[in-house]
Chain A
Amino acid sequence: MLLSLEPRGRQSRLMLWCSPVLAAVLTLVCGSLLFIALGHDPLKTLHTLLIAPVSDLYGVSELLVKTLPILLCALGLAVAYQARIWNIGAEGQLLLGALAGSALAVNIIDLQSRWALVLILLTGTFAGAAWAGLTAWLRTRFNANEILTSIMLNYIALNLLLFCVHGPLKDPAGFNFPESAMFSDASRLPLLMEDGRAHIGVYFALLALVAVWVLLQKSFVGFQIKVLGLDKRAAGFVGFREKRLIWLALLISGGLAGLAGVCEVTGPIGQLVPQVSPGYGYAAITVAFLGRLNPIGILFSSLLMALLYIGGESAQMTLNLPQAITQLFQGMMLFFLLACDVLILYRPRLNLRWVRRTSTTAVTAGAL
């Protein structure tokens, strides 16, 4: 018996949407097996991991707090990835947004106007965009690969943040802890509800969601971005400005990541600390692909990813499971998604007898 894959000839619309669901199911099955191997009851563990964290209002508000930065970063990445600009630098752009916003916040700590918050948010957003702009400049000026430059800029951003939090931005009255002073109330994002830490940054995320959706699905600029991503020669043939589009995609991407960062420091954290992000910018890459680079899909996948973050923490606390569980689930998720995506273009077929097959069959079928 032999399982073989046959080209479908065209994309299967059904599998396009079923593949993430299938990937989720496979992840749950493999996760359960893993828990059994570790000597835990799989159903109970999955409950602790995925359901218990959101069973009350406080849990839901925590979910929103975690979803926000992932969603904002992933929406920005979706714009860049539609243009086939592989921005891996959301993490660095997020950190720089947090850093720049904090730098302003501690300097206007006495300003009691609401405009303080607006200024800080704008500063963070522009800083994130500027950090992505470096990648754009290197790409359009020197044709430097944006994957490499954006990853390297992540480390520069992280070390810049560590330097500032240990040096110029350290709270003079903070007993030498590497932390900035707490921001004034005027510089903090108002809470969404009495209970929990959810703040009005959620509205920014919803606004960004709608804006990115309009950009990608309805606007002509979005169309140009997609053409550039799918077929560079066709974009050149009609005169779409490649460099301009690269700049635009990266600036949007960086700006949203920067906004995510500044929302973290002005929202749940309230000051600049070394651990602003537990890797939101990297998780957002998985989220963007899991959501098929579609804003609506990304909304759901970022909720799922946030749930894994919270569930991982509570599994660690109540079941003594290692925190690596979160990363393991993220990894399995992406792995199974990529594997299931094969089914979009290929149809599995079970052959009951051995048939000699060569790879040329697929090649010539494609050429036909």
Chain B
Amino acid sequence: MPNPTSTPQLQLRQISKRYPGCLANDAIDLSIGRGEIHALLGENGAGKSTLMKIIYGVTQADSGEMLWQGQPVIMRNPAQARQLGIGMVFQHFSLFETLSVAQNIALAMGAAAGSPKQLEAKIREVSRRYGMALEPQRLVHSLSIGERQRVEIVRCLMQDIRLLILDEPTSVLTPQEADELFITLRRLAAEGCSILFISHKLGEVRALCHSATVLRGGRVAGHCVPADCTDRQLAQLMVGDAATLIGDFTKVTGGAAFLQVNGLNWHNPDPFGCSLSDIDLQVRSGEIVGIAGVAGNGQDELLALLSGEQTLHRDTAKTIRFREHAVADQRPDARRKLGLAFVPAERLGHGAVPDMSLADNALLTAFQQGLVSHGLIERGKVEALAQTIIQRFGVKTPDTQTAARSLSGGNLQKFILGREILQQPKLLIAAHPTWGVDVGAAATIHRALIALRDAGAAILVISEDLDELFQISDRLGALCGGRLSALQDTAQTRLSDVGGWMAGQFDTPQSQPATV
């Protein structure tokens, strides 16, 4: 357990950082004791990333003071931070996929790596000591995401580490993998290493962390001991007002199947991509089906095939059907005519054109709704549609001519979802609908999805956020290695079941005879 009386490992005093147009960090105080697991909580845009980058020397604070083991220090760059014993595991890994584990680690260590033999022995020793099985000879592209994260962590542990910073480490892990990570982190802390754990998942913060600092809008909203707080209290600190956040939606059984996928196989030409095998899936009108899974297990491929960005040969057109229409060989616009709407995972650059105005982005997918006559765009109608979306879905923006790029993630997601919903789709496919979105916007988005479901649309949600899937979906399944588990009623599903499916523990479901 941390010892509060000794000098803190790291202390921040009045750290401020301004970017043009926003004060990212405003007089932040933070103190991490030796062997303490400290959580940094906050919504997207609360200033967590900036603070972390200041600590790790990626960027410098405008004002304020940093004390390392009681001594003032100016962190100029990450190399200096590493020298002091600070390690960091970023959310997006920085590994070379075509190199082996040992080679990747040697690259980061430079001259300190020693001979390949010594290094391998050391990697084995470190990974054994902290319970992270890792084979130094394996190539990184053959590792799962969880294993890649281990490489990143082991890379930090190879040196004498005093402070380990982890940026949302569990967002890429299955619940079981996350539990294993926690065991490692507790062992590290017991040895005296301090850990700064960045997250917005309240449950795991309560389970793991000794203390927490909550950021809101660039300021410290409060310090607390997570174990003594309820989710509601923590959420209140993060958002300011938690009243509208917690929603319990009734589970329903849908009507006739709208989307039917039977025996869908797809070989991915990308050697590092994921191929799909024997996907069977039915989404009924008036229900929400959720698909869980760790990123990279076939989600992107399945989405591309369902949306029509990837088409199949005409011979296999029947593997995907909207009601009685075989569509697997149809392009996205043809599928949209049959009632499809699609919200892709990437908002900027996929779901919306960053440099175009909101009005133009409304036209982007809604052009089949009478906005074009004789080949010319009806500007007035486009404008009106954009206005309606902005009003109905509470999008915060100065006007319809604002570029999509200048909206916050949550606002843009509300706009995109609104654009799709106003087209009154019969089938809505949404990928990671609330990823990187603040809690308030997430609640709005969930309510909109439920309202669409109750209006009789079939909805498919693919997400990595299990809490979200349990909250909104009526039936659940998971993707693993390009295979889809059988779908099960959410009400009869336990979290551990889904965790097992995400790890591939399911029988390949038998292809069912098609029911039209």
Contacts and interface: CB of A to CB of B under 8 A. Distances in A.
Same complex for A and B? Answer yes
Interface of A: 6-11, 214, 218-221, 223, 226-227, 230-231, 233-234, 236-241, 356, 358, 360-361, 364-365, 367-368
B108 interface: no
B455 to A, nearest CB: 23
B349 A234 contact: yes
Contact of A239 (B60, B333, B353, B403): B333
Given A223-B377, A227-B364, 17 more contacts: A218-B377, A219-B377, A220-B375, A220-B376, A227-B356, A230-B354, A230-B355, A234-B350, A234-B352, A237-B332, A238-B367, A239-B334, A358-B60, A360-B58, A360-B59, A364-B19, A368-B19
B358 to A, nearest CB: 14
24 contacts: A7-B20, A10-B403, A218-B376, A219-B375, A220-B377, A223-B377, A226-B356, A227-B356, A231-B353, A233-B346, A233-B350, A237-B309, A237-B332, A237-B342, A238-B333, A239-B308, A239-B336, A356-B60, A358-B59, A358-B60, A364-B50, A364-B53, A365-B19, A365-B20
The 5 A-B pairs with the shortest beta carbon distances in the complex, nearest first, are: A239-B332, A239-B333, A239-B331, A231-B353, A220-B372
Contacts of A231: 349-350, 353-355
A364 B59 contact: yes
Interface of B: 19-22, 24, 49-50, 53, 58-60, 307-309, 331-336, 342, 344, 346, 349-356, 360, 363-365, 367, 372, 375-377, 403, 406
A237 B350 contact: yes
A234 B353 contact: yes
Contacts of A221: 375
A244 to B, nearest CB: 11
Contacts of A364: 19, 50, 53, 58-59
A230 to B, nearest CB: 5
A238 B365 CA distance: 6
A8 B20 contact: yes
Contact of B50 (A11, A240, A368): A368
A237 B20 contact: no
B198 to A, nearest CB: 15
A218 B331 CA distance: 25
A236 B60 CA distance: 40
B406 A10 contact: yes
Contacts of B342: 237
A219 B21 CA distance: 36
Given A223-B363, A231-B349, A238-B332, A368 B58 contact: no
Contacts of B403: 10-11
A11 B331 CA distance: 35
A194 to B, nearest CB: 40
Which of A7, A9, A237, A365 has the most chain B CB atoms closer than 10 A to its own CB?
A237
A9 B376 contact: no
Contacts of B24: 368
A361 B372 contact: no
A6 B21 CA distance: 11
Contact of B351 (A234, A240, A365): A234
A223 B367 CA distance: 11
Nearest to B332: A239
A240 B403 CA distance: 21
A280 B377 CA distance: 33
Which of A8, A239, A364 has the most chain B CB atoms closer than 10 A to its own CB?
A239
A198 B487 CA distance: 75
B374 to A, nearest CB: 9
Contacts of B372: 220
Contacts of A214: 376
Nearest to A11: B403
Contacts of A356: 60
A231 B348 CA distance: 9
Contacts of B53: 364
A15 to B, nearest CB: 15
Contacts of A237: 307, 309, 332, 342, 344, 350-351, 365
A300 to B, nearest CB: 24
B360 A223 contact: yes
B273 to A, nearest CB: 16
Contact of A230 (B59, B353, B367, B376): B353
B136 to A, nearest CB: 32
A214 B49 CA distance: 46
A361 B24 CA distance: 13
A9 B308 contact: no
Contact of B20 (A9, A226, A234): A9
A365 B335 CA distance: 39
Which of A10, A231, A238, A364 has the most chain B CB atoms closer than 10 A to its own CB?
A238
A49 B20 CA distance: 44
Nearest to A366: B19
A364 B354 CA distance: 18
Contacts of B22: 368
Nearest to A368: B19
B217 to A, nearest CB: 13
B377 A238 contact: no
B333 A233 contact: no
Contacts of A6: 20
A30 B324 CA distance: 70
Nearest to A346: B20
A238 B360 CA distance: 13
A11 B352 CA distance: 18
Contact of A234 (B21, B364, B376, B406): B364
Which of A11, A220, A233 has the most chain B CB atoms closer than 10 A to its own CB?
A220
Contacts of A227: 353, 356, 364
Contacts of A365: 19-20
Nearest to B45: A368
A214 B24 CA distance: 44
A70 B352 CA distance: 35
Nearest to B372: A220
Nearest to B335: A239
A333 to B, nearest CB: 25
Contacts of B309: 236-237
A149 B36 CA distance: 62
A227 B333 CA distance: 15
B210 to A, nearest CB: 29
Nearest to B350: A233
B367 A220 contact: yes
Contacts of B354: 230-231
